[in-house]
Amino acid sequence: MSQAVRRSGSRDRHPLAWLPEEWRECMTQWGEPGFRAQQIFQWVHRHGVLDVEQMTNLSRPLRARLREHGLESPLQEESLRRSSDGTRKLLVRLQDGLAIECVLIPRANLEEGGVEEDEDEDADAEEADSGAQRSEQPVTLCISTQVGCAMGCVFCASGQAGLKRGLGAHEVVSQFILARRHLDAGERIKNIVFMGMGEPLHHYAETAQSIRLLTHPLGIGLSPRRITVSTVGLISGIHKLGEDFAGKIGLAISLHAPDGATRSRIVPMNESQPLAELIAALRRYPLPKRRRITIEYTLIDGVNDQVAHARQLVETLRGLPVKVNLIPMNPIQASQLHAPKPEAVEAFRRELLLLRVSCSVRQTRGDDVDAACGQLALGSARRLQHAASEVEEANVSEDLDRQPG
């Protein structure tokens, strides 16, 4: 990429991370009419065309100039593994050789990605492509924001080797562009969950730019309500996300414990982002009416799985519009920790429901393709290790139960 393209402001980013206004700036600099900006943005984001020769409404000299500056994808597809349940897991190579992954999950296989059923119509109305058909098969895309992770949650495979680096917005949005090519006929990516490798709020600026790209009406045009950011609970990031997107982006909080002491044992970030402050930040999040925050709670045998924990969780969350997603821990190689017995999971769930907290138990899907986020990329990095023992959480899930009454 030449200096001419990358010079100033947000145009420091790779061109695939430019919004139409950034393209407009570039076109002005190149002496091109402003409408070219929109055309290029549409080719890239709406149509997923990165080969400038296919951008047939651009002049030849402009195409040559774009080619010279490089619009090629920063991602190379390494493998695609398809589960018998339709889940597709993509292992993707970055330009520096590191690997990430993203997963396509057909709706039938998962709980709502933070989107309430009764809000679908609102979200549909906001979507750029008003031709969207009800008959389309909705698919959720789970994307990564970092290679590795710095948060160090003791039960999570992604963080075991620490953080290699954060992804740029161009690498995040390119996951969408690439994954979209693997949709079956009639399928459409309706929801995006930032639940792959990494902590999305750690590199907030890139995550925010990728959300702007994914939701831009001239491009992919996804409604912000259809995007859910899952976070370990970085308080300033939650605040910025709420401000920058007026609370429209769905939040999933990896709480995993009802009290600070228990949480610190398994989520080291709790030391610097204390539970009470996190909860206060959630109360301040400008959540639209009818929406709820997802509370992720990985159940670990003997650590956070007692009925007393469930009761305390209800107290901690009192007054917050939430739904709790219980995730029996998937085993990882680096830890002896493991899921409680099914009876304990059931007792925990029952207690929450009894206390009228909406709750579901997440079930791993796509097992036959290791569709647990983190697993495939790690498996390839440590080539000789058993992928099966690298299991991290699958964001492939299903509502097993609903709140009574």
Q: Is 172 one of the binding residues for ligand SAH (CB under 6 A)?
A: no
Q: Is 117 considered catalytic here?
A: no
> For ligand SAH, which residue of 332, 369, 376, 378 counts as binding (CB under 6 A)?
332
> For ligand SAH, which residue of 75, 169, 214, 327 counts as binding (CB under 6 A)?
327
Helix (H) or strand (E) holding 385, with range, is none
Residue 40 or 373 having the CB closest to ligand SAH: 373
Compute the residue count for the chain. 405
Residue partners of 359: CB distance under 8 A and separation at least 6: 323, 324, 325, 326, 349, 352, 353, 401, 403
List the beta bridge partners of residue 94. Answer: 75
Residue 129: how many other CB atoms lie within 10 Å:
13
Q: Is 101 one of the binding residues for ligand SAH (CB under 6 A)?
A: no
From 373, 390, 392, 393, the catalytic residue:
373
Residue 76 or 363 having the CB closest to ligand SAH: 363
Q: How many residues line the site for ligand SAH (CB under 6 A)?
A: 19
Give the contact letters, 117-156, x = binds to ligand SAH (CB under 6 A), - = no: ------------------------------------x-xx
Q: 126: buried, middle or exposed (CB in 10 Å: 19+, 13-18, 0-12)? A: middle
Give the full edge-to-edge strand order of the sheet including 227-231.
75-82, 88-94, 99-106, 137-142, 187-194, 227-231, 250-254, 293-299, 322-328, 359-361
Q: Is 373 one of the binding residues for ligand SAH (CB under 6 A)?
A: yes
Q: Is 232 one of the binding residues for ligand SAH (CB under 6 A)?
A: yes
Nearest alpha-carbon partner for 139 in 78, 191, 65: 191
Alpha-carbon distance values, 278 to 228, 271, 284, 305, 316 (Å): 18, 11, 10, 21, 11
Binding to ligand SAH, residues 235-254 (CB under 6 A): 254
Q: Is 271 considered catalytic here?
A: no
CB of 254 to ligand SAH, least distance (A): 4
Binding to ligand SAH, residues 11-30 (CB under 6 A): none
Residues marked active site are found at 101, 373
Which positions lie near ligand SAH, rule CB under 6 A?
153, 155-156, 195, 199, 230-232, 254, 296, 298, 327, 329-330, 332, 373, 392-393, 395
